[in-house]
Chains A and B, each alone.
Chain A
Amino acid sequence: MPLPVNPATTRLSALPLYAIGAVLSAALLAHAVWLPWPLLIFLYALIGNKVLWQWRFARALPWWLRVPSFVLAVTAAVASTGSPLSRDGGVALLLALAALKYQETQTLRDGRLLIAALLFISMTTFLFDQNLLVSIYTVTVTVAAFAAMTLLRRHDDVSGLTELRSTLLGAVRGSGRLALAALPLAVVVFLFFPRLGQPLWGAPWNSSQGKTGIGDELRPGMISKLWADDTPAFRVSFDGPIPPPRELYWRGPVLLSFDGQSWRRSPFERLADGYPLTFDDDRVQRYDVLMEATDQHWLFPLDLPIAAPRGARLLSDGQMMTLRNIVAPRRVQLRSASHGQLETTPLRGSLSAARRLPPGNNPQALALAQRWRAEGRDDAAVMAAALALFHASFGYSLEPPPLTPERSVDEFLFETQSGYCEHFASAFAFLMRAADIPARVVTGYLGGIYNGSGNYWTVRNSDAHAWTEVWLPGRGWVRVDPTSAVAPERIDRGNNERALPQAGRWYNAGWAAIWRDRFDVVSRWWRQRVVDFDALRQQQLLTPFGIANAAINQLLIALCIGSLAAVLFGAWWSLRGRQRHANDPLLAAWHGFGQRLQKRGCGRNPNEDPLHFCQRAARALPRDAARILELGKTFTRYRYASAASRDQIQSLVRGLRQFRPS
């Protein structure tokens, strides 16, 4: 039983020091994905140095090690992550300071302070990511921190592995039990603590390391960079029949202007002219899109979208964008008409921009297209000729030879003849424009992976794709995917599994795929139910109780009632082990007696003989010695010698309860 001590002077033994080091390392590990690696390695070196020093010399680190490491760590943190006021800089500085504090941790007070700081630091992980795995990991670190806290008072009387294991297990079990007892309260506060409609402040986003994703420019190599990124871009669940994968063109930025090197969005966003889509109402697809955070404003509706949801707008060329960047996962409900016709009567100026080419650019390609025209072919025949050219001699390759930016189309068409979607889309659009057919490049995603366990589609960044649209009189903008002329399987499969390098990865096959799908279902649930739980959903929480739109004061009442119930439950749950004393008033009174003595620095060891305990307490508190010994002897006699009468026991219980150390 712990005796009162002075935390500032009580030195920690090795075991708690190692435990704190382990928790600190674990908290640091959660930041390993973004922390600059030299800083990460340096911080781990600081922790390792402390552990080694403790193990080898069993004393504090000398000042001539601590001072330089302070200067180095703080400099490194600020230099490598930027201002301490930004998210990255702030968290990095916090981590560095925690590692430095560990350097000088010697006493009980240091230990408590550092663990309290670690509880906060482990929560900073959520500033970076809130997915299920990160959440589980962070909660684990928190429980471990509490376990380390219970170990703080342990002395090094651990001999051998079994005892170490049982000590650690006991600590983890104890803090796990605490966490479980606190769980209902956490759920109640999560549900009912009033949320703001808008965040009070945005998480400071570092654009320096923004997420990859489709942007508003297409230049060689942009999409191939995405292929390495297997993370989900968004998930879609269909309301009704699911179109075949080859039809799943997820429409992103439309690139209209070509400067001879790269395709860009038109500088003039055509909103005012309206959205000239004609479609059949009976053949509309309804679906639900759960976007991951991209820090961009693109939504990727199925080709072609019908209307923009709240908080987003739809441009006349079918691009859909949110009003604010998507910095947190976001769910939207969309409708699309895959058979729809876009802009059958041309809007003012849109076709001339779609015919424009920089003068003198890629002369060979220009000449080829003009020759086709000169041969008297119409639009359809020119398109067919271009597709036939691709089909005849071009190859689909993920690692095509590099192209000179200024003559990329010429080189691609006449020299390398090998590339992937963006090469084909770019060259095809160029040829069309050269033949005076309005054309533009559309980027987005193609296909997706169907998750059978959750009945939804996952579209990953690696599903990124680029295709072409040409404008034909009477039909409007028509989608032409030149890649399909070369690599139909890229289109047919609905995803790029066979064509891409990660096709053979273990997690795309067999049981691994099944488990990956199941995990994806869980993380989608987490995203929808936990991370996306916002003020709006909170308002609807009390609907089952007849309150349609809960006001803040109603939420507060629910919070109070729920918290009270949760605290009572937690208290009952963590105290239920002591229930057995309830029917033995003598034992309960005895324990109360022990607790009062403990406050005087003379606690009862649970495994201590009662008489021994009283003798020890009597020595420590000489003024009460006689009374303590008398109570102890009587207790021992009643409990271990002869059966005492009810009256005798009651008078002893009274005596124990009334005892107060003087």
Chain B
Amino acid sequence: MLKDATDRAAVERAMAAVNQIVLGKTEPVRLAFACLLAAGHLLIEDVPGVGKTTLAHAIAASSGLSYQRIQFTSDLLPSDILGVSIYEREAGTFRFHPGPIFAQLVLADEINRATPKTQSALLEAMAELQVTGDGETRALPRPFFVIATQNPVDMAGTFPLPDSQLDRFLMRLSVGYPDAAAERAMLAAEDRRELLAELKPCLDAARLIQLQQQVRTITASAALIDYVQRLLVASRNHTGVRVGLSPRAGLALLAAARANAFLAARGHVLPADVQAVFAAVAAHRLVPSADLARSRDALTADLLRQVGVD
């Protein structure tokens, strides 16, 4: 199974490179790469200024994928993302100018500042891996990986993503403030953006697709699937949860756990893998009971505590 040691080494190099730019955030970086390997999209949610965009940039640069960035604003239109057909006088026909979404890695910055209509255009493309316009369906490139960032929804000037669409993201991460040492290093050293420019890609599209296929072959035993299922059932029966985890969330959990096991150089998934990715995969898919002011992260911690491994 571990014959792909060289491939995984490339991923590890990419992670190391990102960790040099985003200091003291090995766990979010690891989860972000797990998300990439599980072929899911990533949502990074945190207050402004903690390095969301830097993290997304670094991942994009180190992964060696073709890369576009969309800064979401309240006046952004769907066509600004998907592309537009323009009449060309010389040819006498309409010609499609593809939007920034036609890239292998799309960074959707501050996604919740755009109107719901624009958000939907992106999210639908993410789900279907294709764009339909002017009666023509155009496939998006592969691999297709969206990293979206957003500010916490209670901040001014935001349109919160609906619960149903949050589901399109495999993981939701928050970066969090750096610890004291990392922050000091950051303040003392040179500008992160210059380091970013120097970053060399460690992967490429073909290799990434191959890695994603390998991740899919990692063993999840019956006992492990039992454990995942117990987590799903517990989430539906928990008093603090209004809407529990869907079967799709269960699939997402397994996929993410497989990627985590892959990063740990293991050919099989352990409960520890499920636990490592559970908060990132499950927290944004749970709908807490309205009457109980209970954070989603506390709920996922509670679920992990409640459900026995075997």
Separation of A160 and B240 alpha carbons in the complex (Å): 10
Within 8 A of A (CB), among B294-310: 294, 298, 302, 304-310
> In this assembly, does A159 line the interface, its C-beta being within 8 Å of a C-beta of chain B?
yes
Contact flag A608-B268 (CB < 8 Å), given A160-B294, A162-B289, A641-B219? no
B270–A609 touching, CB < 8 Å: yes
Whether, in the assembled complex, A658 has its beta carbon less than 8 Å from a beta carbon of chain B, the answer is no
A608 and B239 contact, CB distance less than 8 A: no
Collect the chain B residues with CB atoms within 8 Å of residue A590's CB.
310
CB distance from B235 to the nearest CB of A (A): 13
Q: Does A48 contact B (CB under 8 A)?
A: no
A556 beta carbon closer than 8 Å to chain B = no
> A607 and B306 in contact (CB under 8 A), knowing A160-B293, A640-B223, A642-B219?
yes
Interface string of A97-122 (1 = CB under 8 A from B): 00000000000000000000000000
B207-224 to A contact mask, C-beta < 8 Å, 1/0: 000000000000101011
Q: Which residues of A contact B306 (CB under 8 A)?
A: 607
What CA separation (Å) do A166 and B219 show in the bound complex? 35
Bound Cα distance A566, B74 (Å): 71
Q: Which residues of B contact A612 (CB under 8 A)?
A: 272
Beta-carbon contact of B224 and A640 below 8 Å: yes
**Cα of A170 to Cα of B88 in the assembled complex, Å:** 71
Contact with A along B187-224 (1 / 0, CB 8 A): 00000000000000000000000000000000101011
* B277 interfacial by beta-carbon distance below 8 Å: no
Do B219 and A162 touch across chains, with their CB atoms under 8 A apart? no
The smallest C-beta distance from B49 to any residue of chain A, in angstroms, reads 27
B116 interface residue (CB < 8 Å to A): no
For residue A211, CB closer than 8 A to chain B, the reply is: no
- Residues of A contacting B219 with CB < 8 Å? 640-642
Residues 266-290 of B contacting A (Cβ, < 8 Å): 267-272, 275, 289
Q: How many residues of B contact A (CB 8 A)?
A: 27
Q: Would you call B292 an interface residue if the criterion is a C-beta within 8 Å of the partner chain's C-beta atoms?
A: yes
SS class of chain B's interface: helix, strand, loop or mixed? loop
- A233 to nearest B CB, angstroms? 48
Most chain B beta carbons < 10 A, residue from A162, A636, A639: A162
In angstroms, Cα B238 to Cα A606, docked, is: 18
Could you tell me the distance between the alpha carbons of A643 and B305 in the complex, rounded to whole angstroms?
Answer: 28
Contact A160 B308 (CB under 8 A): no
In the complex, per-residue mask of A574-611: 1 if CB is within 8 Å of any chain B CB, else 0: 00000000000001001000000000000000111111
Determine the chain A residues whose CB is within 8 A of the CB of B310 once the complex forms.
587, 590, 610, 639
Q: Across the interface, do B298 and A607 meet the contact criterion of CB distance under 8 Å?
A: no
Q: In the complex, what residues of B have CB within 8 A of residue A165's CB?
A: 239
Taking the closest CB of chain A, its distance from the CB of B290, in whole angstroms, is 12
Determine the chain A residues whose CB is within 8 A of the CB of B305 once the complex forms. Answer: 607
Knowing A607-B309, A639-B310, the reply to whether A162 touches B269 (Cβ < 8 A) is no
Q: Is the CB of B240 within 8 A of A162?
A: yes
Are A640 and B302 in contact, with the CB atoms below 8 A? Answer: no
In angstroms, Cα B142 to Cα A189, docked, is 75
Bound-state Cα–Cα, A166 to B307, Å: 14
How many residues on chain A are close to B (CB under 8 Å)?
A: 23
Given the contacts A587-B310, A610-B271, A161 and B224 also touching, CB distance less than 8 Å: no
Q: How far is the CA of A610 from the CA of B238 in the complex (A)?
A: 25
Nearest CB in chain B: distance from A593 CB, A: 12
Select B221's contact among A162, A608, A640, beta carbons within 8 Å.
A640
Task: Give the residue name and chain of the A residue nearest to B275 (CB).
Answer: A609
CB-CB < 8 A to A637: which residues of B? 268
A639 and B298 within 8 A (CB)? no
Minimum distance in angstroms from B27 CB to a CB of chain A: 16
Q: Given contacts A607-B304, A608-B309, A641-B219, are A162 and B272 in contact (CB under 8 A)?
A: no
A147 to B47, CA, bound (A): 43
For B268, B271, B275, B308, the residue with the greatest tally of chain A CB atoms inside 10 Å of its CB is B271
Q: CB distance A641 to B268 under 8 Å?
A: yes
> A606–B307 Cα gap in the complex (Å)?
8
CB-defined contacts of B304 to chain A, threshold 8 Å: 607
User: Which residue among A590, A609, A637 has the maximum number of chain B CB atoms within 10 Å of its CB?
Assistant: A609
Q: Which residue of B lies closest to A606 (CB)?
A: B308
CA of A655 to CA of B105, assembled, Å: 51
Q: Which residues on the A side are within 8 Å of B269 (C-beta)?
A: 640
Tell yes or no: A163 within 8 A of B by CB.
Answer: yes
CB-CB under 8 A for A641 and B298, given A607-B307, A607-B308, A612-B272 = no
Q: Contacts of B224 on A, CB cut-off 8 Å?
A: 640
Do B223 and A639 touch across chains, with their CB atoms under 8 A apart? yes
Query: Which residues of B lie under 8 Å from residue A587 when comparing CB positions?
Result: 310
* Cβ-defined contact, A641 with B267, below 8 A: yes
Q: How does the 8 Å CB contact mask read for B153-187 relative to A, with 1 for contact and 0 for none?
A: 00000000000000000000000000000000000
| With A159-B298, A160-B293, A639-B221 as contacts: A611 and B309 at CB distance below 8 Å | no
Please report which residues of chain B, range 235-285, place their CB below 8 angstroms from some CB of chain A when the two chains form the complex.
238-240, 267-272, 275
- What are the residues of chain A within 8 A of B240 when measuring CB–CB? 160, 162-163, 166
Residues of A within 8 A of B307 (CB): 607
CA distance A88 to B294 in the complex (A): 48
Give the docked Cα–Cα distance between A590 and B310 (Å): 10
Bound-state CA distance A163–B238 (Å) is 10
How far in angstroms is the closest Cβ of chain B from A652?
A: 14
Contact A161 B308, CB 8 Å, known A639-B223, A640-B221: no
Assess whether A641 is in contact with B308, with CB atoms less than 8 Å apart: no
Closest chain A residue to B292 by CB distance?
A162
**Chain A, residue nearest B223 (CB):** A639
Closest to A635 in B: B310
Report how far A587 CA is from B292 CA in the complex, Å: 37
A166 to B305, CA, bound (A): 12
User: A39 CA to B230 CA in the complex, in Å?
Assistant: 52
**Nearest CB to that of B266 among chain A residues?**
A641
User: How many Å from the CB of B214 to the closest CB on chain A?
Assistant: 16
Nearest A-chain residue to B268, judged by Cβ: A641
B309 touches A161 (CB 8 A): no
Q: Using Cβ atoms and an 8 Å threshold, which residues of chain B touch A161?
A: 292-294
* Distance from A161 Cβ to chain B, minimum over Cβ atoms (Å): 6
> Measured between alpha carbons, how far is A51 from B269 in the docked complex, in Å?
48
- A606 and B292 contacting across the interface, CB-CB below 8 Å: no
Interface code A623-650, partner B: CB below 8 Å = 1, 0 otherwise? 0000000000000110111110000000
Contacts of A643 in B (CB 8 A): 221
Assess whether A640 is in contact with B270, with CB atoms less than 8 Å apart. Answer: yes
Whole-angstrom distance between the Cβ of B271 and the nearest chain A Cβ: 5
Mark each residue of chain A from 127 to 168: 1 if its CB lies under 8 Å from any CB of chain B, else 0. Answer: 000000000000000000000000000000001111101100
- Cα distance A611–B221 in the bound complex, in angstroms: 16
B272, A611: Cβ atoms closer than 8 Å? yes
CB distance from B304 to the nearest CB of A (A): 6
User: In the complex, are the beta carbons of B272 and A160 less than 8 A apart?
Assistant: no
Q: Is the CB of A609 within 8 A of B292?
A: no
**Docked-complex contact B292 and A610, CB < 8 angstroms:** no
Whole-angstrom distance between the Cβ of B309 and the nearest chain A Cβ: 6
Q: What is the bound-complex CA distance between A243 and B221, given in angstroms?
A: 79
* CB-CB nearest in chain B for A163: B302
Q: Which residue of A has the minimal Cβ distance to B224?
A: A640
Contact of A163 with B298 in the complex, beta carbons under 8 Å: yes
Interfacial chain B residues near A640, Cβ < 8 Å? 219, 221, 223-224, 268-271
Q: Least Cβ distance of A641 to chain B in Å? A: 4
CB-CB nearest in chain A for B271: A609
A606 to B289, CA, bound (A): 26
A159 nearest CB neighbor, chain B only: B298
Given contacts A162-B289, A162-B292, A587-B310, contact A611 B298 (CB under 8 A): no
Chain B residues lying within 8 Å of A642, measured Cβ to Cβ, are: 219, 268
Can you give 14 contacting A-B residue pairs, CB < 8 Å?
A160-B240, A161-B292, A162-B238, A163-B294, A587-B310, A606-B308, A607-B305, A607-B307, A607-B309, A608-B309, A609-B309, A610-B271, A640-B271, A642-B219
Given contacts A160-B298, A641-B221, 9 further A-B contacts (CB under 8 A): A162-B239, A163-B298, A163-B302, A590-B310, A607-B306, A609-B275, A637-B268, A639-B310, A640-B269
Nearest first, the 10 closest Cβ-Cβ pairs linking A and B are A609-B272, A606-B308, A162-B240, A641-B268, A609-B271, A640-B221, A162-B292, A639-B223, A160-B294, A640-B268
